[in-house]
Amino acid sequence: MNNKNTEIDITNVQEDRHIVLASEIQSLKKELEDSEWASKKTNEGIKILYKELEKKNNEIRHLDQLKTHFMDTVSHEFKNPLFIIRESLTIMLDDTTGQINEEQKTMLNMSISTVNRLMRLVYDLLDISKIESGKMEMKRSQIDMPALLEENIKTYEKQFTKKNISLTKNIAKLEPIWIDKDKISQAVINLISNAIKYTPEKGSANITLEDAGENIKFEIQNSGPGIPPESINKIFDKFERVTAEKQEGTGLGLPITKEIIELHRGKIWVESKPEQWTKFSFTLPKDLRAGR
């Protein structure tokens, strides 16, 4: 009897195990089916999202092209009228059209200054438009960089004097290098004017040009408010303002400068100590050749 009961118990246990295993198999099968369904849905969702993303990217590219075309068109339309206005005001200021009093001269000078700011904006917009469309042309020739730098500094002598900025120059004698003279002048002038703008009255500035192995290296350091650490990576972004001070300008000078240097296969960077100084540096390779 006992043996019979034992056999029944074993049989029952085996049947129970079979039931449990069958249940687990069914459960696993369902989980697998659910997983496959979820995976299929996920893949379908990813495809839909990818198509939407591609559509949005195409829209962004189209808008970017429209923006570039708009900037280019508007800039060209404004350039000639502004030039005519400035020349007309200059003729009036020179008493060519008749004698004017001091008050009128002051008003004309203010008008010319405003037109000059607008013209700088127009030229900056034209440059950005050319850069973004890949149409900025480089006309390289062998240039004496130290002489070019001295020429650029001389352009701003009055501004340094006006703010009583102590200027130190360390310009080494270097062999001529292949660069686009006008473009590099524009880059250097942007950095010099930027330094003057943010240097306080009776502050200091230092300009260095030196041999750096396979490159030449330019540096301009000025005393002043400096750049906050959280803003230093945005300094070359278009229309970016990194200080609370209200300053004139387009917000395009530094981005254009960066593009010019990089088109020459050079590198540009900035260092700063808040409330003390800011230093912009760039290098240009010596081995550039015409057309390269």
SS (H, E, C) 160-176: HHHCCCEEEEEECCCCC
Q: Give residue 229's pLDDT.
A: 87
How many CB atoms lie under 10 A from the CB of residue 176? Answer: 14
Q: Do 54 and 150 sit in the same domain of this protein? A: no
Predicted confidence (pLDDT) per residue in 155-172, tens digit:
999 999 999 999 999 999
Q: How far apart, in Å, are the Cα atoms of 65 and each of 68, 69, 248?
A: 5, 6, 28
Q: How far apart, in Å, are the Cα atoms of 90 and each of 51, 82, 84, 120?
A: 57, 12, 10, 17
Q: Is residue 56 part of a domain?
A: yes
Among the residue ranges 73-77, 102-106, 228-232, the one predicted with the least confidence is 73-77
Looking at 136, 156, 183, the residue that finishes a domain is 136
Q: What is the distance between the alpha carbons of residues 5 and 108, in angstroms, rounded to a whole number? A: 119
Q: Do 217 and 247 sit in the same domain of this protein? A: yes
Q: Is residue 239 part of a domain?
A: yes
Flag whether pLDDT at 66 surpasses 70: no
Flag whether pLDDT at 14 surpasses 60: no
- Going by pLDDT thresholds of 50, 70 and 90, the confidence category of residue 117 is confident
Q: Is residue 290 part of a domain?
A: no
Mean pLDDT, the chain, as a whole number?
Answer: 82
Q: Give residue 267's pLDDT.
A: 97
Q: Give residue 137's pLDDT.
A: 84
Among the residue ranges 29-33, 87-91, 157-161, the one predicted with the least confidence is 29-33
- In the chain, what is the straight-line distance between the N-terminal and C-terminal CA atoms, in Å? 103
pTM of the complete model beyond 0.85: no
Q: Is residue 259 part of a domain?
A: yes
The more confident residue out of 176 and 1 is 176
- Going by pLDDT thresholds of 50, 70 and 90, the confidence category of residue 282 is very high
9: its two tokens: 């118990």
Flag whether pLDDT at 245 surpasses 60: no
Using the 8-state DSSP alphabet, how is residue 234 labeled? G
Predicted confidence (pLDDT) per residue in 203-242, tens digit:
999 999 999 999 999 999 999 999 998 888 889 987 666 6
Q: Say which CATH number the domain at 266 has.
A: 3.30.565.10
Phi-psi domain of 148 (left: phi exceeds 0; alpha: psi -120 through 50; beta: other): alpha
Count up the domains in the chain and report the number: 2
Looking at 75, 105, 136, the residue that finishes a domain is 136
- Identify whether the C-beta of residue 258 lies closer than 8 Å to the C-beta of residue 268: yes
Flag whether pLDDT at 256 surpasses 70: yes
Q: Do 80 and 101 sit in the same domain of this protein? A: yes
Q: Do 157 and 204 sit in the same domain of this protein? A: yes
Q: Give residue 4's pLDDT.
A: 47
Q: Do 38 and 164 sit in the same domain of this protein? A: no
45-49, 200-204, 248-252, range with greatest mean pLDDT: 200-204
The more confident residue out of 15 and 39 is 39
122: its two tokens: 């127009």
Q: Is residue 291 part of a domain?
A: no
Among the residue ranges 93-102, 190-199, 208-217, 270-279, the one predicted with the least confidence is 93-102
Q: Is residue 50 part of a domain?
A: yes
Q: What is the distance between the alpha carbons of residues 272 and 291, in angstroms, rounded to a whole number? A: 35
Using the 8-state DSSP alphabet, how is residue 138 labeled? -
Among the residue ranges 41-45, 104-108, 129-133, the one predicted with the least confidence is 41-45
Q: Do 71 and 158 sit in the same domain of this protein? A: no
Q: Is residue 236 part of a domain?
A: yes
Q: How far apart, in Å, are the Cα atoms of 75 and each of 65, 237, 252, 258, 276?
A: 15, 20, 14, 21, 38
> Which alpha helices (H) appear in 136-220, and where do they start and end?
145-155, 157-162, 181-198
Among the residue ranges 2-6, 61-65, 73-77, 178-182, the one predicted with the least confidence is 2-6
- Going by pLDDT thresholds of 50, 70 and 90, the confidence category of residue 257 is very high
Q: Strands (DSSP E) along the chain, which ranges?
A: 141-143, 166-171, 177-179, 204-212, 215-223, 267-273, 277-285
Q: Which residues neighbour 253 within 8 Å (Cβ) at sequence distance 6 or greater?
A: 124, 190, 193, 194
Q: Do 121 and 152 sit in the same domain of this protein? A: no
Which domain range does residue 186 map to? 141-285
